[in-house]
Every structure is written in structure tokens, then in C-alpha cells.
Amino acid sequence: MTETQGDISAEIEAISKEYDASGTVEHGVRLDYPPYRSSILRHPTKAPFQLDPEELELWAPVFGQRDVDPLESDLTIQHRGEPIGERMVVAGRVTDGEGRPVRHQLVEIWQANAGGRYIHQRDQHPAPLDPNFTGMGRCLTDGDGFYRFTTIKPGPYPWRNHQNAWRPAHIHFSLFGTEFTQRLITQMYFPGDPLFALDPIYQSIVDPAARGRLVATYDHDLTTPEWATGYRWDIVLTGSHRTPVEGDVE
Ligand SMILES: [Fe+2]
């Protein structure tokens, strides 16, 4: 029997009530979150393996400043023509828990196009590909921890968690620190998305305030006249107000 949105929403509601009644505060993502069906089988079941940091340094990636071209932060200029959709800027600051800037950090993003389609062989749903949009970009944070991308607002897309399952529009973010083990992967969402309550990935952060930290703010100061709308999204790497991260990516 195919499960419906109603079935999944009932499970989300039950977990949410259980969390509210527990009186505890969770800052992170639940890796084992049954409404997100594939998390049941693929979440880690053992404690993280402790590595010798010195040994790891021999294998860690090295990101040279020269390898990241500033043009790579503009996802709208990677092809001969302009991509279709709402041009937007997303910018913010990466800090640690004390508000100190995380400087010269590699920030990578990937996302669906305006029609909600990824260029990936596993994404064959009948939305158009955009020949002028690949959906990947990267940049380095500056000396004050700021990053900035120009892109196209992604559309929501269907996935096969259950019947009629749709992901809220989102941009995937990856940040690398100075060590391989510091990599952080998460998703940024857009304010007021009607799919929030229905999405088991967004809801796998059971604390409402914590999942709210994944939602960007519309920022008219970032909006550029006659050019692009602007969204502000800050990322906090540590502490009780840190940005929730995920152990895996959808
Ligand atoms: Fe996605």
C-alpha cells in the first residue's frame, strides 16, 4: 500500500507531540527519523570513529585560494545564455558560536533549477532542464566571514518518500573547515514555504527554533534594483544557536 501525505503527516505530528512533552531541547537533525523513510536504513548505528588528527592531516584536502575563481559564485553566468527563473542573491556570514568570523572558508552550493529539476540521471521527473543552468557554485568567505552567491531561485520538487511527496524549495550548502572532519552539510530554505509542515526532511529537526535557523530572511538591502531579489542566511558553526547540519544529503 502506498503511503499518503496524510500517513506521513500523522507520524510527523506524533513525533512532534512526543518532543514537546519531553521537555528537552534538541539542536540537531534526527538521523533516524522514520517519516523520512530512507533514514531508517542508512543512518549511522555506531558511534563516530575517532581518528588520529595527525594521521588525518596527511589525507585531508588542501584548498588553495587560487583554485576558487570569484566567478564561480555566480550560477547565472556558467553558460552562453541566461537561465530561466527568479534571479536572486543569497549572502550571509559564517561565524563560530562566539560570533567570530570563519575566514577564507570554502562554501559550496548545489540546487535544482527554477522548475525544480536537477541535472542528475536519478532525477527524471517531467520538469524541464535548463540548458543555461547547472546548479552548482562555490566561493570563499572573505576576511569577515561573508559569502555571497548569485543564482536562480530553485523550485520545489517531488521525491519518492511517499505518494505526492514534495520538497520545499531549498539550496544545499557545504562548508569545509581547515580539516576534513569539519565538513558541514545542510540546506537553506525560503521564508513562508507552504511545504514546511509536510516535509519529513525539514521536520527531522524536531525543535521549531532549530529548524527555523535553516530559513533565510528576505533582505531588501541585498535586493538589487532591476536585477535580483536578496536573501540573507547566516551560518553558525558551533554553540547552542548553531545551524543544524545533516549526516546525509537528499
Ligand atoms: Fe535537494
Question: Given a cut of 70, is residue 67 above it in pLDDT?
Answer: yes
C-alpha cell at position 81? 545564455
Q: Which pLDDT value is given to residue 149?
A: 98
Contacts of 32 (CB under 8 A, 6+ apart): 39, 40, 43
- In this structure, what CATH number is given to the domain that contains residue 127? 2.60.130.10
Please check whether residue 211 lies inside any domain of the structure. yes
Q: How far is CA 100 from CA 75, 108, 183, in A?
A: 28, 21, 18
Report CA(23)–ligand 1 centroid distance (Å). Answer: 32
Residues paired with 101 in a beta bridge: 95
Residues labelled catalytic: 118, 157, 167, 170, 172
Please check whether residue 123 lies inside any domain of the structure. yes
Please check whether residue 204 lies inside any domain of the structure. yes
Please check whether residue 63 lies inside any domain of the structure. no
Report CA(174)–ligand 1 centroid distance (Å). Answer: 13
Please check whether residue 49 lies inside any domain of the structure. no
Count: domains in the chain: 1
C-alpha cell at position 124? 527524471
C-alpha cell at position 237? 558553526
Q: Which pLDDT value is given to residue 47?
A: 81
Nearest to 231 by CA among 149, 166, 142, 145: 149
Q: Tens digits of per-residue pLDDT, 118-175?
A: 999 898 999 999 999 999 999 999 999 999 999 999 999 999 999 999 999 999 999 9
Please check whether residue 54 lies inside any domain of the structure. no
Q: Tens digits of per-residue pLDDT, 164-219?
A: 999 999 999 999 876 666 788 999 999 999 999 999 999 999 999 999 999 999 99
Terminal CA-CA length for the chain: 24
Please check whether residue 19 lies inside any domain of the structure. yes
Please check whether residue 53 lies inside any domain of the structure. no
Report CA(58)–ligand 1 centroid distance (Å). Answer: 32
Q: Where are the beta strands (DSSP E) in 11-120?
A: 87-95, 106-110
Task: Determine the structural domain holding residue 19 and report its residue range.
Answer: 5-38+68-236
- DSSP assignment letter at 155: P
Is the separation of the CB atoms in 160 and 37 below 8 Å?
Answer: no
Q: Which pLDDT value is given to residue 183?
A: 80
Report CA(52)–ligand 1 centroid distance (Å). Answer: 33
Report CA(57)–ligand 1 centroid distance (Å). Answer: 31
